[in-house]
C-alpha cells in the first residue's frame, strides 16, 4: 500500500520515500514502507510500539541507512546527494538532544553552525525564532532549567533554525501537560502554515487527529492503512463502535451473538467494545431491542485496539 493519498495540501511533494526496508538485530522492522509529504501538509505516522515508526523516521532524516528503498528530500536523493538533502530537513527527536553546555540561544547558534550553506543572517533568524517560540525570557538560560514544554519548544526551534523544507517530529509532545501540548500544537500548525512538510509520530490519538492532514498507520513494519483520518478509521475499524456494559444481564449472550456474526468484541475494563458497519448495527439493534448500550463514531484508540487484535496470536 502506498502513502500517495489525496490530502488538503496540494503543494509540491517534499518528502518521497519508496520501498523502505530495514532490519535491526536480525529482525526486519521496516518492510517496504512508502511515505510522502507535501509542502504545507502534516502526515501523522501512527502505530503501536514496535510498528516501525521511529525507524522509518530515522531513515528519512538520514540517521539510519535503509537496506532497500529510496528517499528524496526536496528533490535531493538522501543516498547520493546527502549533504543537500540534509540541508533541507530538520529533526526534533523523541529525546531532548540539545547541547547542555550552551544556553537556549547558544544551542540555536551552535545548531546553525552545523549547516552549509550557512543560514543567511543567522542572528536575526534566531532572534525571530526565540520570539516566535516564546523563549525570550529563557534565552540566556541553560536548557535544563526549562520546563518540559519549553524544552520541546527549543527542540522544535532548533529543528527549523536553518529554514528546512521538511521537518520530522518524533513524538514531540510526549510527557507534556495538556496546556503545553496545545502550545506545541499551535507552533506545529504555524510551521505547516509556513509551507513546511511535516511528518509527525505520536501516541496521542487526539494529537494525530487534530494536527494531521493525513494518517499513515504502521503495523509490524508495513503500512496497514493510509489516508484521511475518517477513511482510515472506517477501513480498519468500521463505521460505528458499540459500547456495552460487561455487567449487563444479557452481555454474555450478546457477545456470543456478535462472534457468530464475525464481529470481534473486546472487553476493556467494565465494557465490551465492538466495531460494526451500518448493516451490522441495524441487525444488532433489531436483535436486542431492549438492551441499553452506547453507539459512537470510531476513534484512533479503537484503531489501535483493532490492530492489537489483528496482531494477537
Partner 1 sequence: MNPYLPAVAWQSRAVLGRHLRVHLRNWYTATLPPVCEPLIMLLAFGVGLGGQIGALSWQGAQVDYLHYLAPGILAYTAFMSSFFQSLFAAYIRMHFQKSWEGQLTTQVRLEHVVWGEALWSATLATTYAVLVCVVLVGFGIAGQLTLHWAWLPAAIPLLFLAALAFSAIGLFFTAILPSIDHMSLPFFLVIMPIGFASSTYFPLPDVPALMAVAQLNPLHHLAEGLRALLLTGTLNWHLPAAAGLCLLLLAVLIPLDMRLLRKRVFGDA
Which one of 61, 133, 138, 284 is in contact with partner 1 (CB under 8 A)?
Answer: 61
* 141 in contact with partner 1 (CB under 8 A): no
* Closer Cβ to partner 1, 97 or 147, answer by number: 97
Q: Which three cell numbers stand for residue 144?
A: 535544563
Q: Min. distance of Cβ 63 from partner 1 in angstroms?
A: 6
Strand 266-268 versus strand 271-276 pairing type: antiparallel
Q: Which of 8, 10, 68, 83 binds partner 1 (CB under 8 A)?
A: 83
User: Is residue 100 part of the contact set for partner 1 (CB under 8 A)?
Assistant: yes
Using an 8 Å Cβ cutoff, are 35 and 226 in contact?
no
- The C-alpha atoms of residue 302 and residue 113 are separated, in whole angstroms, by 45
Asked if 283 and 261 touch (Cβ cutoff 8 Å), the reply is: yes
- From 2, 10, 65, 267, residue interacting with partner 1 (rule: CB under 8 A): 65
Q: In this structure, what C-alpha cell is assigned to residue 52?
A: 516501525
Among 111, 201, 212, 216, binds partner 1 (CB under 8 A): 111
User: Using CB under 8 A as the criterion, what x/- string covers residues 115-134 for binding partner 1?
Assistant: xx------------------
Q: Which pairing describes strands 68-73 and 42-46: parallel, antiparallel, or unpaired?
A: unpaired
Beta bridge partners, 12, equal none
Residue 184 near residue 92 (C-beta atoms within 8 A):
no
Assess 150 for contact with partner 1 (CB under 8 A).
no
DSSP class of 133: T
> For partner 1, which is the closer residue by CB, 1 or 79?
79
Task: Write the CB contacts of 94 (distance below 8 Å, at least 6 apart in sequence).
Answer: 54, 170, 171, 174
- Grid cell listed for 281: 448495527
In the bound complex, what is the minimum distance in angstroms from residue 61's beta carbon to partner 1?
6
Q: Which stretch binds partner 1 (CB under 8 A): 30-38, 110-118, 224-232, 290-298?
A: 110-118
Nearer to partner 1 (CB atom), residue 90 or residue 238: 90
Segment interacting with partner 1, rule: CB under 8 A, options 91-99, 182-190, 230-238, 298-306 = 91-99
Size (the chain), residues: 313
Footprint of partner 1 on 153-192 (CB under 8 A): 158-159, 162
With cell 550553506, the residue in question is 117
Residue closer to partner 1 by CB (options 111, 219) is: 111
Say which DSSP state 118 is in: P
Contact footprint for partner 1 (CB under 8 A): 24-25, 61-65, 82-83, 86-87, 91, 93, 95-102, 110-111, 113-116, 158-159, 162
Amino acid at each position: 500500500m502506498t502513502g500517495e493519498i489525496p490530502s488538503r495540501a496540494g503543494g509540491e511533494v517534499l518528502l518521497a520515500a519508496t520501498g523502505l526496508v530495514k532490519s535491526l538485530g536480525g529482525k526486519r522492522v521496516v518492510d517496504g514502507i512508502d511515505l510522502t509529504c507535501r509542502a504545507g501538509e502534516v502526515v501523522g505516522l501512527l502505530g503501536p510500539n514496535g510498528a516501525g515508526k521511529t525507524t522509518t523516521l530515522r531513515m528519512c532524516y538520514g540517521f539510519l541507512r535503509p537496506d532497500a528503498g529510496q528517499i528524496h528530500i526536496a528533490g535531493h536523493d538522501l543516498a547520493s546527494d546527502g549533504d543537500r538533502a540534509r540541508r533541507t530537513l530538520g529533526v526534533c527527536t523523541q529525546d531532548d538532544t540539545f547541547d547542555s553546555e550552551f544556553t537556549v540561544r547558544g544551542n540555536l547558534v551552535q545548531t546553525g553552525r552545523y549547516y552549509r550553506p550557512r543560514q543567511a543572517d543567522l542572528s536575526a533568524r534566531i532572534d525571530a525564532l526565540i520570539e516566535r517560540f516564546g523563549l525570550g525570557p529563557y534565552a540566556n538560560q541553560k536548557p535544563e532549567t526549562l520546563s518540559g514544554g519549553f524544552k520541546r519548544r527549543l527542540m522544535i526551534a532548533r529543528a527549523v533554525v536553518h529554514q528546512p523544507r521538511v521537518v520530522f517530529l518524533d513524538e514531540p509532545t510526549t510527557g507534556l501537560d495538556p496546556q503545553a501540548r496545545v502550545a506545541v500544537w499551535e507552533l506545529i500548525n504555524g510551521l505547516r502554515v509556513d509551507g513546511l512538510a511535516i511528518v509527525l509520530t505520536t501516541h496521542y490519538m487526539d494529537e494525530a487527529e487534530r494536527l494531521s492532514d493525513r494518517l499513515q498507520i504502521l503495523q509490524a513494519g508495513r503500512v496497514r492503512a493510509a489516508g484521511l483520518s475518517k477513511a482510515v478509521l472506517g477501513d480498519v475499524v468500521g463505521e460505528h463502535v458499540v459500547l456495552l456494559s460487561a455487567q449487563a444481564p444479557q452481555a454474555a449472550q450478546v457477545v456470543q451473538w456478535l462472534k457468530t456474526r464475525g464481529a470481534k468484541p473486546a472487553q476493556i475494563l467494565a465494557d465490551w467494545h465492538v466495531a460494526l458497519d451500518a448493516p451490522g448495527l441495524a441487525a444488532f439493534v433489531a436483535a436486542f431491542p431492549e438492551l441499553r448500550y452506547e453507539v459512537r463514531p470510531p476513534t484512533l484508540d479503537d484503531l489501535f485496539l483493532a490492530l492489537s487484535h489483528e496482531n494477537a496470536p
